[in-house]
Structure 1
Amino acid sequence: MDIDIPGLLLATETMAQSIAMTKGVSPRISKDDMLFDFLVRAVFTTDQKKAVEAYFNGGEDCANRFAALVHEYFPSGPKNVLEFASGYGRVTRYARKVLPRTEWMCSDIHPQAIAFLSDELGMPGAVSSTDPARWSIATSFDVVFALSFFSHTPDKTFAAWVARLFSAVAPGGLLIFTTHGAVSLAHMRANGRQDEFDHRGYYWNSNSDQRDLNPEEYGTSAVTLPYVQSAVAPLNGAELIRFQQGFWWGHQDLYVVRKPKVA
């Protein structure tokens, strides 16, 4: 389907400005934002203007949910957060609003997304990689947050990415991430797919909301709790302190992994 995303953004610019003003965030949506593209092409196909409202409302809901979650573990708020696979800032634009005393950094596979976050949102960032062995970051963080990244990660890099992101967590800090799980897979079957976990508790197909990425490196995955436990178990001192089925959007599972404090 041929859709003029820049034209749609121009036509809805006043609407976006009005919504963003009430929320106290930037009104800018990048023309390259594949999540917005997905909302337009796959979700709001009969009324594309609703994608703008959903973009801002959904980002705000995720930011509020994340802030409430981290305050359970850091009542005064974490010192710093790394948002991994941050995209073009659907959630990031609310960072200073929901966690005003927290330093926030982003990482994403798209260099143009990191540039947009810096230029439009004033948010520091670093380009990531398809290969976890080639990704590193100098700073350690109270919280490393990966929303709906592991719901698209192939089996060959899943455990390696868990380990690599955990390495960026400061002592006493948390790795927080979501995955598709049993609830998500049930939704897929309800839509006519014949989808099941394999013997390891892993499922994969090559479809995703990111049309510009290699479908063999970024598709749609779903995992069970034992599968994630097997990825966390080899990590020195890692403690899976929370698993909550269907926590995010009513279908993605939540995982919270804690790194021990230095003795």
Structure 2
Amino acid sequence: MSDIDITGILAEHEPLARSIAEVKKVAYEISKDDMLLDFFVRAVFPTDHRNAIEAYFTGGEDCAKRFANLCREHLSSGPSSVLEFASGYGRVARYAKHVLPDTAWVSSDVHPNAVEFLSSKIGVRAHLSSTKPEDWSIDDEFDVVFALSFFSHMPDATFAPWLSRVFTAVKPGGIFVFTTHGAVTLRNMRAGGSPAQFDDTGFYWNSKSDQRDLDARDYGTSAVSLGYVQKAVSDIEGAELIRFQQAFWWAHQDLYVVRKLDQ
């Protein structure tokens, strides 16, 4: 894999980032450690780094708006609190005050550098996560917990444990919004020459991902069927799957919304 100077790219295109951020009224900084930008540069826009910077900002804004609309659709009133789990370096969180201005937004990520960046540059409260579900906890409960493209990378051994663990952060009556790779993702993989198929349980796994700094045993690329997720949700007390929409996010990741029943 060729070496790419992310720091140099960010420095070269800082005027562009500042210009976009000024129009959108958000923080302009992008962390040199942000593996999502790294993925854009390496895999999506390898010959056009300007487009990588633009896509980072515009895609984050689109995700934030999409999420806010889901909150309004599935809650009787706007959420007073949100936990964005596996938030990365703030691609979505930088738009929090625009899309949900009256909401206390907390981000959680496994990278200490991301937690520091979220706090100091993006201006949201940030919480350090862990690589093991049994080691993760947070003191608060939230009206909405949001995990975008996290469960699309979990192995079978930790998919359901993470689902159950993160669900503990949802208030009674609140919702858990998350995405997964699904059947459309696998179809796209097969079109690209990969023999990707669900196993008998509705699960698919390979060890490759855009997060090269994480252990491939903990974080790779997975895809799951609706039945697989239904089974995982049914094993969580007080959890009710209220929405499934195939290929809702980025035209290939599936959307799930799970409500925590009032006790």
TM-score of the two chains, using structure 1 as the length reference: 0.98
Q: CA contact under 8 A between 2:85 and 2:147: conserved in structure 1? A: yes
Listed as ranges, the gaps of 5+ residues in structure 2 are: none
Whole-angstrom distance in 2 between the partners of 1:113 and 1:75:
32
Correspondence 1:195 to 2:192 = no
Provide the residue aligned with 1:153 in structure 2.
Answer: 154
Q: How many residues align?
A: 262
Provide the residue aligned with 1:230 in structure 2.
Answer: 231
Provide the residue aligned with 1:6 in structure 2.
Answer: 7
Deviation digits for residues 191-226 of structure 1 (CA, Å, limit 9, x no counterpart): 110110000000000111111111111000000011
The correspondence of residues 66-77 of structure 1 with structure 2, limited to 5 A, is: 66-77=67-78
State, as a whole percentage, how many aligned pairs show the same letter: 63
Provide the residue aligned with 2:64 in structure 1.
Answer: 63
Correspondence 1:107 to 2:108 = yes
Deviation digits for residues 204-257 of structure 1 (CA, Å, limit 9, x no counterpart): 001111111111110000000110011111111210000000000100000000
Provide the residue aligned with 2:82 in structure 1.
Answer: 81
Deviates more, 1:86-95 or 1:41-50: 41-50
The correspondence of residues 159-174 of structure 1 with structure 2, limited to 5 A, is: 159-174=160-175
Whole-angstrom distance in 2 between the partners of 1:24 and 1:176:
26
Whole-angstrom distance in 2 between the partners of 1:76 and 1:120:
29
Q: CA contact under 8 A between 2:75 and 2:174: conserved in structure 1? A: no
Whole-angstrom distance in 2 between the partners of 1:22 and 1:131:
39
Runs of 4+ in 1 over 4 A off after TM superposition: none
Which amino acid in the other structure matches residue 202 of structure 1? F
SS in 2 for 1:49: helix
Provide the residue aligned with 1:250 in structure 2.
Answer: 251
SS in 2 for 1:204: strand
Deviation at 1:74, TM superposition (A): 2.5
Whole-angstrom distance in 2 between the partners of 1:158 and 1:246:
19
SS in 2 for 1:254: strand
SS in 1 for 2:82: strand
TM-score of the two chains, using structure 2 as the length reference: 0.98
Whole-angstrom distance in 1 between the partners of 2:157 and 2:251:
27
Deviation at 1:76, TM superposition (A): 3.5
Provide the residue aligned with 2:221 in structure 1.
Answer: 220
Deviation at 1:75, TM superposition (A): 4.8
Whole-angstrom distance in 2 between the partners of 1:74 and 1:201:
30
Cα RMSD of the aligned pairs, angstroms, is 0.7
